[in-house]
Amino acid sequence: MIDLHCHILPGLDDGAQNLSESISMARKAVEQGITTIVATPHHLTSSYENPKQVIINRVEELNQALLQEKIDLTVLPGQEVRIHGEMVDGYKLGEILPVDHTQYVLVEFSSSHVPRYTEKLFYDLQLNGLIPVIVHPERNQEIIERPEILYQLVKKGAMTQVTAASICGDFGKKIKNFTHQLIEANLTHFIASDAHNTSTRTFKLREAYSTIQAKYGNDMVYLFSENAALAIDGKHAYQEVPERIKKKKFFKIF
């Protein structure tokens, strides 16, 4: 199993705070059946700046520690980039790190809105050979209220990654239901843990895949697991034709 989004690197953001916590997360990941993790510390939030080379160096150090601990897990370099208007420049300057140096770049919105310039920025990223992957869109309030925004971005070439815990209901029933709507409308392409620790924000990948198997069958499990493998290989991930989510109308009964 491959996890494309995880805050396992020690001391860089709000994930593992030290090497001991990183090792604990690695052991937990192996228990889940995870063999490969893409380490994706936050980049260019109000609190964190983790440019490309810093992450590459920390990944090398962590992989050495995992070897010494005899933990059968491979960590690859990546980054969770907060959306900003200068992303193309940051990529050209070597500050932005796509998933293991491939074309897939993880892009994070704030929890409340989607910037007006997003469509133009994503177009420019694609012109430069990148595929923007919107992380946890199911937890963005504007997308929940106006799913047409996500539909248009996916229709024009963006991809998305939902969080395993969202599928399982850990963020509440509303987010769980919306996550499943995204799956059913072909508006998401990857599942990842977005794990930050081993307690409050842990992996949940095995549970998420079990839920998907029970609800949608083996073909959907294969699609998500295969897409993760294709992404780290820099190959084209599967993209089914996206569909619009119809907002349900609720009528008051008098």
Supply the pLDDT for residue 254. Answer: 40
State how far the alpha carbon of 162 is from the alpha carbons of 24, 134, 205, 220, 236, in Å: 24, 9, 11, 14, 18
For residues 123 and 156, the answer to whether their CB atoms sit within 8 Å is: yes
Whether the predicted model's global pTM rises above the 0.85 cut? yes
For residues 201 and 14, the answer to whether their CB atoms sit within 8 Å is: no
Supply the pLDDT for residue 46. Answer: 84
Angle subtended at Cα 109 by Cα 191 and Cα 220, rounded to the nearest 5 degrees: 20
Supply the pLDDT for residue 66. Answer: 98
The model's pLDDT over 130-162, given as tens digits with 9 standing for 90+, comes to 999 999 999 999 999 999 999 999 999 999 999
Supply the pLDDT for residue 249. Answer: 44
Place of tokens 């809105």: 113
Instruction: Provide the mean pLDDT of the chain.
Output: 96
Supply the pLDDT for residue 248. Answer: 57
Q: Which of 138, 180, 130, 185 is nearest to 161 (CA)?
A: 138
pLDDT bucket at 250, cuts 50 / 70 / 90 = very low
For residues 108 and 42, the answer to whether their CB atoms sit within 8 Å is: yes
Q: Which of 81, 93, 161 is nearest to 121 (CA)?
A: 81
The model's pLDDT over 160-196, given as tens digits with 9 standing for 90+, comes to 999 999 999 999 999 999 999 999 999 999 999 999 9
Q: Where are the domains of the chain?
A: 2-232
For residues 228 and 104, the answer to whether their CB atoms sit within 8 Å is: no
Q: CATH for 2-232?
A: 3.20.20.140
The model's pLDDT over 217-248, given as tens digits with 9 standing for 90+, comes to 999 999 999 999 999 999 999 999 999 998 65
Residue 56 CB contacts under 8 Å (≥ 6 apart), including other chains? 77, 97
The model's pLDDT over 42-100, given as tens digits with 9 standing for 90+, comes to 999 889 999 999 999 999 999 999 999 999 999 999 999 999 999 999 999 999 999 99
Place of tokens 């119809």: 246
Residue 13 scores a pLDDT above 80: yes
Residue 253 scores a pLDDT above 60: no
Which structure tokens are listed for 178? 């919306």
Q: Is 229 exposed, middle or buried (0-12, 13-18, 19+ CB in 10 A)?
A: middle
The mean per-residue pLDDT over the stretch 195-218 comes to 97
Supply the pLDDT for residue 252. Answer: 44
Share of the chain above pLDDT 70, in %: 97
